[in-house]
A and B are shown apart, each in its own frame.
Chain A
Amino acid sequence: MAEIDTENVSKKELSRRKFFILISGTLSSFIAFILGIPLIASILGTVSKVKNKKLSKLTRVSTIPILKPVNLNFATTKTDAFIKSVEPQDAWVIKRSNSDITVFSPICPHLGCRYAWNSNQKLFICPCHNSVFDINGKVISGPAPRGLDTLPKKIQQGELFVLWERFKVGIPQKIEVGD
């Protein structure tokens, strides 16, 4: 092993050595710092997400019964990072006429359970904490802080389309939750 004999080196030589140690130490730290920025930012930084704004086809308008809420299934396309997938969802649809249709999110605005239409009582009832809503989504009783959430919809050539959205539960305002 090559030992450095510091005893026999001149003072000038030693301070030169110290200087080089300092310079290379500083430069190395600087390089590490600059390289560290992208590495840390890539983990902590918010990843820009692709927002999914595609309508899903529900059914033909003519097949929906008048003034009788129906639960309909549909497929949404979901983008999770680089993986696109199809997810099943459902919604409550109320038709008053061929042009007057309401689509409710199936999620209770109280704390997120799934409510259902009770055809005997003609009311939407949530099994979790007994929130009760009328056919227009208005709160009749129970802890729900707001009425049922409507989903954006569109009628095109006799077909009903819906846009799947999620809203924050437990508060009086209807605020969309992005992914």
Chain B
Amino acid sequence: MTSKIWRWINERIPLKIMLQVGLDEKIPGGASFFYTLGSATLFVFALQVVTGIWQLFYYVPTVDHAYNSLNYLRIFVPYGWLIHGLHYWGANAMVVLVALHMIRVFVWGAYKKPREITWLIGVFLLFLVIGMSFTGAALPWDERGYWAAEVGTSIAGTIPLIGSFLESLLRSGNFMGQLTLSRFFILHTAIIPGIAMIIIAAHLTAFRNFGSVGPWSNEKRKTSGAVLSGQTKLP
């Protein structure tokens, strides 16, 4: 019965091939758990998207209610503390994982030809992750978030020539206020994540084109096959 339905679906949309393309990944022999750091980052990114959307059921981006609405989420909403906590610690984990992932692809020499663009797209993703941390921290509009945004935008203001313009662009004026929070909110919830999703897709497409760089020892490279097909061991 299930195989019948499966066949019926696949005659109309090539789900089986889509799954194969998505999941079956050929990697050189000697794979290690270090290869999972990119996927771990991707998983936490997905978790941030879900918990972020969920917080929007309660959070409001106004200077007089932002803090109260988050307190309400944490104290009165069932499991609100957990949803908020997952997003908060997920943000921290994201930065750590991206750094580890970057170190691993650097050590393995994955930035070299023909993977330069994968690396460059990665650098762009690093900036986006930093941008998410910066804009997200301001959203509770508490002492920590407010002053982090004040200091951060002031730093932008010290850039020669374009500094003042950049600062007032981020703040929507010379001083911090409601429109600053609105800007940070829309950057954090729509613009940066939207760009990130497209860029991640490009990152993965570029990565898949050549596959994983694999170990540097030629001995280990000889065996190859599907993921989890017998060569996965600790480093």
Contact = CB atoms under 8 A, between A and B. Distances in A.
Interface stretch (A39-47, A110-118, A131-139, A157-165): A39-47
A171 B167 CA distance: 63
Contacts of B226: 4, 17
Interface string B57-72: 1100000010011011
B54 A39 contact: yes
A46 B76 CA distance: 9
B72 A16 contact: no
Contact of A39 (B65, B83, B211): B83
A100 B154 CA distance: 65
A82 B72 contact: yes
A27 B58 CA distance: 30
A20 interface: yes
B230 A13 contact: yes
B49 to A, nearest CB: 12
B187 to A, nearest CB: 23
Contacts of B72: 81-82
A49 B76 CA distance: 7
A1 B25 CA distance: 9
B50 A39 contact: yes
Given A2-B26, A2-B211, A39-B50, A48 B82 contact: no
Interface string A71-87: 00000000001110000
Contacts of A81: 58, 69, 72
Contact of A1 (B65, B77, B208, B228): B208
B228 A20 contact: yes
A115 to B, nearest CB: 37
A38 B228 contact: no
Interface string B22-61: 0011100000000000000000000100100010011000
B26 A4 contact: yes
A82 B57 CA distance: 13
B18 interface: no
B21 A1 contact: yes
Given A47-B77, A48-B76, A42 B24 contact: no
10 contacts: A2-B211, A39-B54, A39-B79, A41-B78, A42-B57, A42-B79, A42-B80, A46-B78, A81-B69, A82-B69
Given A17-B228, A39-B50, A41-B78, 20 more contacts: A1-B21, A1-B208, A2-B208, A4-B226, A13-B229, A17-B226, A17-B229, A38-B79, A38-B82, A38-B83, A42-B77, A43-B57, A45-B77, A46-B78, A47-B76, A47-B78, A49-B76, A82-B65, A82-B69, A82-B71
Interface of A: 1-4, 9, 13, 16-17, 20, 24, 35, 37-39, 41-43, 45-50, 81-83
